[in-house]
Amino acid sequence: MAVTHNWSITKLEQLNDGTGTVIEIQYKVFSKNEVSCESSGSVGLDTDSIDNFIEYENLTEEILLGWVKEKLGENLGNHEINNAAWIESVENPPEPRTISQPLPWS
């Protein structure tokens, strides 16, 4: 069974100037197979030169996730990779590196 990943937005920080300009997006990645794992993070947005400003009321989770994924760039998959590795280690724990045995003369 393959691990599934669900990205969601958990919180938005905006400028306190009445414009509704979002400056930080907090997100989480919920990964599930037989067990589940969650990771989270945040990205800051550059608000110095905004093209195609979207009013706060018109923002959707899809738009915000697009911004998050664009900002994460090549590091985008790290959450999914790390979550999947953790799930794999729980579902199929590795053999221990060492073991304890009774003393040979006991």
Structural domain boundaries of the chain?
4-91
User: Which three-class secondary structure state does DSSP give residue 71?
Assistant: helix
Q: What are 5-63's pLDDT values in tens digits?
A: 999 999 999 999 988 899 999 999 999 999 999 999 999 998 887 778 899 999 999 99
Q: Which of 25, 36, 29 is nearest to 6 (CA)?
A: 29
CB-based contacts of 60, cutoff 8 Å, min separation 6: none
Give the Cα separation of 58 and 76 in Å (integer).
25
Query: Mean per-residue pLDDT for 79-89?
Result: 93
Query: Mean per-residue pLDDT for 71-90?
Result: 91
60: left (phi over 0), alpha (psi -120 to 50) or beta: beta
Q: What is the pLDDT of residue 90?
A: 92
Q: Which of 54, 24, 27 is nearest to 40 (CA)?
A: 27
